């Protein structure tokens, strides 16, 4: 258990870097105008396919793993 608590910060650093990269690689069609209520994409439905869907699912998995590692670090 002592070695796991020594390795856990490095796992969290790696997960956080991968999570940041996963979030930044996702495309946003809204742009800056979408933040202020503008934009042409009002349909609300966008089907993710191929690499975009894989990246989306991987980002969710990384976020869950990062949250779990933070919770484990809190308990240890």
- For 22, residues 6+ apart whose C-beta sits below 8 A from its C-beta are 55, 58, 59, 62
Q: What is the mean pLDDT of residues 62-71?
A: 97
pTM of the model: 0.74
Residue ranges making up the domain that contains 42: 2-75
Which band of pLDDT confidence, cut at 50, 70 and 90, is reported for residue 41? low
In 3-state terms the chain splits into helix, strand, coil percentages (rounded to 5) of 70, 0, 30
Which band of pLDDT confidence, cut at 50, 70 and 90, is reported for residue 12? very high
């Amino acid at each position: 258990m002592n070695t796991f608590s020594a390795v856990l910060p490095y796992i969290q650093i790696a997960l956080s870097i991968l999570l940041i990269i996963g979030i930044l690689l996702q495309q946003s069609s809204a742009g800056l105008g979408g933040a202020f209520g503008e934009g042409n994409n009002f349909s609300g439905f966008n089907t993710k396919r191929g690499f975009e869907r894989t990246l989306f699912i991987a980002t969710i998995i990384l976020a869950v793993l990062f949250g779990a590692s933070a919770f484990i670090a809190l308990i240890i």
